[in-house]
Structure 1
Amino acid sequence: MMADLSGAQWRKSSYSGGGNDCVEVAFVAGGAAVRDSKDPEGGAFRLPAAGWQALLDAVRGQGQA
């Protein structure tokens, strides 16, 4: 079952430079949803809070073994 994200408040990173070639995130109950800013109707994927934190750690280089 797909979650209803129609009321989600999407935002881009302040590092995106204002372009339309990045990802957007919306914080939703229990975690976050992520989508492509070039195709906002193309769908999104949801991460539980721990998954969102793991993604951030990996992107920041903290998830390396």
Structure 2
Amino acid sequence: MNERVLLLFLRRIFPEWSILLDQDGTWQVSGHVRVSASSIDGVLDVLAVVEPEAEDRVRRFFR
């Protein structure tokens, strides 16, 4: 999936988080914590740890 499309999905699923992809390809995530990640996998790892319902929210969105 294209990273920009995934960015739109993540913003919709987690509206309380600020999720940005900068020009250098670095992901910036801020909410309960502030994190930078070099890949979408890093962003998803962070959300899975700090948002106990993250997996369920993603599943419900894509049903």
TM-score grouping bracket, smaller chain normalisation = 0.3 to 0.5
> Which one has a larger percent helix, Structure 1 or Structure 2?
2
Work out which of the two has the higher radius of gyration on C-alpha atoms and give 1 or 2: 1
Normalising by the residue count of structure 2, what TM-score does the alignment of the two structures yield?
Answer: 0.34
> Which one has a larger percent strand, Structure 1 or Structure 2?
1
